[in-house]
Amino acid sequence: MDAIAMSAPIIQNVTILGATGTIGLHTLDVIARHPDRFRAYALTANTNVDVLFEQCRKFEPVYAVMLDERAADSLKTKLQIAGLVTEVLFGMDALEFVSAHLDVHAVMAAIVGAAGLKPAIAAAESGKRILLANKETLVMSGSLFMQAVEKGGATLLPIDSEHNAIFQVMPQQKFATLKSGGIKKILITASGGPFRKATDDELSAVTVKQALNHPNWVMGPKITVDSATLMNKGLEVIEAHWLFNAAPEQIEVVVHPQSVIHSMVEYVDGSVLAQLGNPDMRTPIAYALGYPERIESGVSSLDLFKIARLDFEEPDTVRFPCLRLAFDALKKGGTAPAILNAANEIAVEAFLNGKIGFMGIPRIIESVLSDATISLASSLSTVIEADKLARKAAKEWMLTYSC
């Protein structure tokens, strides 16, 4: 009996930061397929009470966290009426608490925007397995976060389909220098978004509805707009720099409309290794949850005969200047990526609310980045202050100029 008990698999407790978003929903779908391996220990959301309530009813987590206090009170009431014992917490401190909890094995960091930074760092400092889907953590504070990962002994696994693909085709010494693995270049693929072939006049007239209609991927509003402007790819370039120790000149973006090849790695001997699959985020999520094992994800098999062809193009950084701005910020270093990210968040929000046009997004970012004072990202407080000032500058720019 003792021998049987000792051989039983340990169920991994998972905190999902951003459980009601697209990544969170996909993560819960994968977890539900493996109840003998994973448990949703803590689920978090911003204000989406109804969806988080249904998730609590289905998965019965120990904790549910709302960033908004009123939303937390509402959720608590609904859970009490339903007779559920999930404990409800609220605020940033609560997000950090469930990220660093002793009983938690893995943290899915999927909160969109700067709000995901502190809980991701808390998970790193606590030595968790971090499934990183929050771009801003590395974009804003890449050096600080990687230091926290190393110091805390955390395991870092990228969830972005592109970085996950790179991770899969790199040598076994993950996150080693490119040189030590014989790697010449990282090739990050981009779908090109819905406006890949749009003219300048068409780009100027883009509506919110059009921007949210991505041809391949189902994502939240902010990341979908980022994909349409190619800022999403720019942020991924900055992420790749930190994840894989790659210099800007070792990172290349390739437009691949089919989104079948998720990224590639070119080796010094001329070999190019690629990871292929249907455009479904459950593949990288399942890979990271089960790593180093492969587990079933629910994703259908790739039908190469149906795809028939694979196309590749160079990105147009004139029509889509956000990609160029991201490379510029990476080369400047310090707080420049945090400033880029903050200005982009404000600009995208303004576009989604109908306050600026589609091409106003890169105009705001370029103006804020040009005027900002770049400093060393030596502490989290420095990064947060740069983020705050950039947001203020972006809002002030919109009051002065028409875009």
* 23 in a known ligand binding site: yes
Query: Residues with Cβ < 8 Å from 48, sequence gap 6 or more?
Result: 20, 71
Query: Residues with Cβ < 8 Å from 293, sequence gap 6 or more?
Result: none
d(CA 80, CA 87): 10
Cα torsion 104, 110, 112, 118 to 10°: value is 30
* 162 in a known ligand binding site: yes
* 136 in a known ligand binding site: yes
Q: Give me 301's structure tokens.
A: 């098999």
- Specify the amino acid at residue 341: N
* 314 in a known ligand binding site: no
* 236 in a known ligand binding site: yes
Cis peptide before 194 (omega within 30 of 0): no
* 270 in a known ligand binding site: no
* 191 in a known ligand binding site: yes
* 193 in a known ligand binding site: no
Tokens 């059009």, located at residue: 210
* 296 in a known ligand binding site: no
* 13 in a known ligand binding site: no
Asked if 136 and 42 count as a contact pair (C-beta separation under 8 A), the reply is no
Q: Give me 401's structure tokens.
A: 């100029």
* 48 in a known ligand binding site: yes
Q: Is 66 exposed, middle or buried (0-12, 13-18, 19+ CB in 10 A)?
A: buried
* 293 in a known ligand binding site: no
Query: Known binding site: residues?
Result: 20-21, 23, 48, 134-136, 160-162, 191, 214, 220, 227, 232-233, 236
Query: Known binding site for 1-deoxy-D-xylulose 5-phosphate: residues?
Result: 135, 161-162, 191, 214, 227, 232-233, 236
Query: Known binding site for Mn(2+): residues?
Result: 160, 162, 236
Query: Known binding site for NADPH: residues?
Result: 20-21, 23, 48, 134, 136, 220
